Structure 1
Amino acid sequence: MSFIDTLNAAWTRTQSLLCVGLDPEPSKFPGALKNRPDAIFDFCRAIVDATAPYASSFKPQIAYFAANRAEDQLEQLIAHIHEQHPGLPVILDAKRGDIGSTAEQYAREAFERYDADAVTVNPYMGFDSIEPYLAHEGRGVIVLCRTSNPGGSDLQFLNTDGRPLYHVVARLAAEKWNANGQLGLVVGATFPREVEVVRGIVGDMPLLIPGIGAQGGDVEATVRAGRTEGGAGMLINSSRAIIYAGKDDDFAAAAAVAAKKTRDNINLYR
């Protein structure tokens, strides 16, 4: 199935909008994993297996793997998710953005090397930097729109013909760029009013929403602002608040408790 079809099926089957972010930092791993050559894979696999009953997707952030020379462990991890938890899409959080010929290689990296179901991209260089990803049939492309970091306003709120720039990105994504029907947008939970505005522009397009948990986004405000009429349409991401919920060797069990609590809290407002 395509990314969008897989995502819709996952939302229905799991009754969850939770996306578990995988940002592995070896310095935060429990003692049992210290100095193990495959510690990143082992840590993330344990988190995935423990939280899968409560999630509808996973989002590994590529920088945490690449900085530790663990790209092979990222490949293993995504393969593990596909094999052991089929139907839960994997979004590779890479935020790529470059000219077309380079974007072709980034697309191959995301979809052929890592076999991700979707990838995050930066639209700053325009449609020709996004188009190569669309050539990979059925794969998703999630475009940065209104990000959760405070500095996002430096550019995203620039006035463009009477509209902030993030409005323009949302409208382009919904009306011109979505050639394969597999686009989504990143909109941060730290700005629920902007989530509501973007939802009004893009209709039922999926929104990847970081910013709850460690970044302090309000779950109720986020869900009420971003849900579709069917009570879905969102991949509400939590990373550190879940994967580092426990510091000891029972870290996976603690992550499961945190994931279940987050899922249930989200579902209160659907």
Structure 2
Amino acid sequence: MTRKDLFEQIQSKKSYLCVGLDTDINKIPKHLLDKEDPIFEFNKAIIDATKDYAVAYKPNIAFYEALGASGWNSLQKTLEYIPENTFTISDAKRGDIGNTSSLYARAFFENMNFDSVTVAPYMGEDSVKPFLEFKNKWVILLGVTSNQGSFDFQHLRIKDKNRSLFEEVIIKSQEWGTSDQLMFVVGATRADLLEKVRKAAPDHFLLVPGVGAQGGSLEDVSKYGMNDHCGLLVNSSRGIIYSSNGEDFAEKAKEAAKTLQMEMSEYLDKYLG
């Protein structure tokens, strides 16, 4: 999917909502467990309920690969069920030496046909570049995250450059790929960090998890993160997919997604006109 295609979806749906499919077999409604493929049945219902409000879906790969072959099968079926022209994110957080990264890229871009994959930048340029060699595919590089452990490394100061390590990662990586193929993950729980990232990468899309169950503010994310082409994909996982653990789970997911979309529509009008 191109940048233009993605922005057109945002404009059409008046939304920059990404629904995280962090589907845990231990959390899905019990009435689904009798199905042949409970994971897929849950995802299918969530997608049906939210597809009018979401411009992207983000399966977290760990929830699927933990189940072995059956999990990969559920993931592939889920991916094929996501409506056409909807952006798909493989939240795999890969990143290794060049030849290994090339194989990871082929797995997610050629074999499974995801639009994008999350990549860890710690090993540097040669671990990221293989993912950038695929036309109309995206690398979503981990920029600054909201977990407590992020302070171990991401916020260390680089004294001679007067900036944090995460800022250096974001600035340096723009030498590897353009705003048409490179996004950054930015945790939603601290607006001041989002403002710094937007200053360091004014033209790039940002994938922003942490709104909803993790306490991030959609208002702050929109205020400090939006650019001229929206430039945001705001992810909500638990806050949508686990709105209910009963037979009404899909209906409640729809309500949660619609609520976020309506708020997003207001911010798009406010900041983009």
Alignment check: 8 A CA contact 2:188 2:209 kept: yes
Q: 1:269: Cα distance to partner?
A: 3.1
Range with bigger deviation, 133-142 or 31-40: 31-40
Rounded Cα–Cα distance in structure 1 between residues aligned with 2:131 and 2:12:
28
Range with bigger deviation, 51-60 or 178-187: 178-187
Is 1:165 the counterpart of 2:160 in the alignment? no
Rounded Cα–Cα distance in structure 2 between residues aligned with 1:33 and 1:210:
27
> What is aligned with 1:197?
196
Is 1:150 the counterpart of 2:148 in the alignment? yes
TM-score, length-scaled by structure 2: 0.93
Q: 1:3: Cα distance to partner?
A: 3.6
Rounded Cα–Cα distance in structure 1 between residues aligned with 2:179 and 2:218:
31
TM-score, length-scaled by structure 1: 0.94
Give the SS at the match of 2:224.
helix
1:93 is aligned, of 91, 110, 114, to 91
Q: How does 1:178-257 map to 2 (within 5 A)?
A: 178-179=177-178, 181-230=180-229, 232-257=230-255
Is 1:48 the counterpart of 2:47 in the alignment? yes
Give the SS at the match of 1:208.
strand
> What is aligned with 1:118?
116
Give the SS at the match of 1:28.
coil
Q: 1:159: Cα distance to partner?
A: 1.2
- What CA deviation, in whole Å up to 9, does each residue of 1:97-128 have, x standing for no partner? 11101101110111122210000000000010
Give the SS at the match of 2:51.
helix
Alignment check: 8 A CA contact 2:9 2:85 kept: yes
Q: 1:35: Cα distance to partner?
A: 4.1
Alignment check: 8 A CA contact 1:134 1:179 kept: no
Number of aligned residue pairs? 264
Rounded Cα–Cα distance in structure 2 between residues aligned with 1:99 and 1:120:
16
RMSD (CA atoms): 1.4
Alignment check: 8 A CA contact 2:125 2:173 kept: no
Alignment check: 8 A CA contact 1:4 1:140 kept: no
| Structure 1 unaligned spans of 5+ | none
Rounded Cα–Cα distance in structure 1 between residues aligned with 2:180 and 2:248:
41
| Structure 2 unaligned spans of 5+ | 269-273
Rounded Cα–Cα distance in structure 2 between residues aligned with 1:263 and 1:154:
35
Q: 1:212: Cα distance to partner?
A: 0.7
* Identical pairs, percent: 42
Range with bigger deviation, 96-105 or 178-187: 178-187
Give the SS at the match of 1:223.
helix
Rounded Cα–Cα distance in structure 1 between residues aligned with 2:80 and 2:90:
13
Range with bigger deviation, 121-130 or 177-186: 177-186
Q: How does 1:21-100 map to 2 (within 5 A)?
A: 21-69=20-68, 70-81=71-82, 85-100=83-98
Give the SS at the match of 2:267.
coil
Rounded Cα–Cα distance in structure 2 between residues aligned with 1:106 and 1:100:
10
Alignment check: 8 A CA contact 1:75 1:113 kept: no
Range with bigger deviation, 2-11 or 138-147: 2-11
Code of the residue aligned with 1:145 in structure 2: it is: G
